[in-house]
Amino acid sequence: DILPKIPLPAFPFQEYMATKAKHVNEALDEAIPLQHPLKIHDAMRYSLLAGGKRVRPVLCIAACELVGGDEAKAMPAACAMEMIHTMSLIHDDLPCMDNDDLRRGKPTNHKMFGEETAILAGDALLSFSFEHVAAATKNVSPDRVVRAIAELGSAVGAAGLVAGQIVDIESEGKQVTLEDLEYIHINKTSKLLEAAVVCGAIIGGADDESTERVRKYARCIGLLFQVVDDILDVTKSSEELGKTAGKDLISDKATYPKLMGIDKAKKFAAKLVDQANQELAYFDTAKLLHYTISLTILPVDKI
Ligand code: GRG
């Protein structure tokens, strides 16, 4: 009942996702070769090339194409999104943060390389992401490249990912309100998705109205990403339940179903889908991005 209500035109969505993700993987592999000092590049590549759905880079390319740009123009920015996403996961997994041993089915970066290297690998990925957008973006006006870099900076720093993480850490063990939860998700998840589509649109030559439409669309799908994840946690098959829901109960992590009930959480998700679709209705050719909404609803590995 949370699937998009608009009829979707036929479009080989899975094929598009798979092809673009393959191109992104090739570009990432090329952007950060294994070179001296080997240890740091090995650690950077280990997490960067460890799989992952590549949602952010594909959204960046899709937004660029939506406004008339091509994949090549958006590729450095698309790679930057994945570098930043990866570094945030490396730091999030550290013993001083979530202290996780596994990520994407493999030992976490600090488990493989040690804490010092994991911190430095995150730092190096973060700084290189900005360098890469500035140095490798071709056939885009310098003014648009600078705007994209500014967008990225604000999404990552103390008004973005870092803000979400610090408020999340501070709220541990405390009663979390719906407002707190939304603040955490908007900053930890939506801001980077927003930067991905907005940078793609800016680089693709979008006018201001189009840029703001895709921004609002991204805000909706960022929250949707989390609401749906929370709903899936509750409604997972009983065999999976033992593995993850149990952990969730022990950690007493705040979720949408816990704070508003499962029915209201589903209604909230449906509202976000409608809002995202309304923003995309502005474009004649947004069928691809309409499909990304169903990607958000049913994460690609669960389709
Ligand atoms: C950004 C400077 C800087 C520091 C990091 C640790 C931290 C600050 C922020 C935490 C960010 C975090 C872990 C957000 C969660 C994001 C999220 C929804 C992850 C899951 O994304 P998927 O499903 O994962 O796209 P895959 O593995 O498919 O890429």
* Cβ(89) – ligand 1 distance below 6 Å: yes
* Cβ(165) – ligand 1 distance below 6 Å: yes
* Cβ(50) – ligand 1 distance below 6 Å: no
Q: Which residue has the higher pLDDT, 115 or 276?
A: 115
pLDDT at residue number 282: 85
115-119, 125-129, 176-180, 298-302: the lowest-pLDDT one: 298-302
Residue 199, class by beta-carbon neighbours within 10 Å (0-12 exposed, 13-18 middle, 19+ buried)?
buried
93 Cα: distance to centroid of ligand 1 (angstroms): 10
Q: Which residue has the higher pLDDT, 156 or 293?
A: 156
pLDDT at residue number 170: 95
Q: Residue 2 — very low, low, confident or very high, per pLDDT cuts 50/70/90?
A: low
* Cβ(66) – ligand 1 distance below 6 Å: no
36 Cα: distance to centroid of ligand 1 (angstroms): 28
User: Residues 295-303: what's their mean pLDDT?
Assistant: 46
287 Cα: distance to centroid of ligand 1 (angstroms): 27
* Cβ(222) – ligand 1 distance below 6 Å: no
Whether the per-residue pLDDT at 93 is higher than 50: the answer is yes
Q: Which residue has the higher pLDDT, 17 or 235?
A: 17
pLDDT at residue number 161: 98
Q: Residue 14 — very low, low, confident or very high, per pLDDT cuts 50/70/90?
A: confident
Q: Which residue has the higher pLDDT, 118 or 252?
A: 118
pLDDT at residue number 302: 43
Whether the per-residue pLDDT at 67 is higher than 70: the answer is yes
88 Cα: distance to centroid of ligand 1 (angstroms): 5
Q: What domains can be seen in the chain, in order of their start residue?
A: 13-297 (1.10.600.10)
Q: Which residue has the higher pLDDT, 9 or 250?
A: 9
Whether the per-residue pLDDT at 301 is higher than 60: the answer is no
Residue-wise pLDDT tens digits, 112-145: 999 999 999 999 999 999 999 999 999 999 999 9
User: Residues 255-279: what's their mean pLDDT?
Assistant: 90
Share of the chain above pLDDT 70, in %: 85
* Cβ(52) – ligand 1 distance below 6 Å: yes
Mean pLDDT of the chain: 88
Q: Residue 290 — very low, low, confident or very high, per pLDDT cuts 50/70/90?
A: low
73-82, 139-148, 202-211, 270-279: the lowest-pLDDT one: 270-279
User: Residues 186-199: what's their mean pLDDT?
Assistant: 96
82 Cα: distance to centroid of ligand 1 (angstroms): 10
Is the ipTM higher than 0.85? The answer is yes
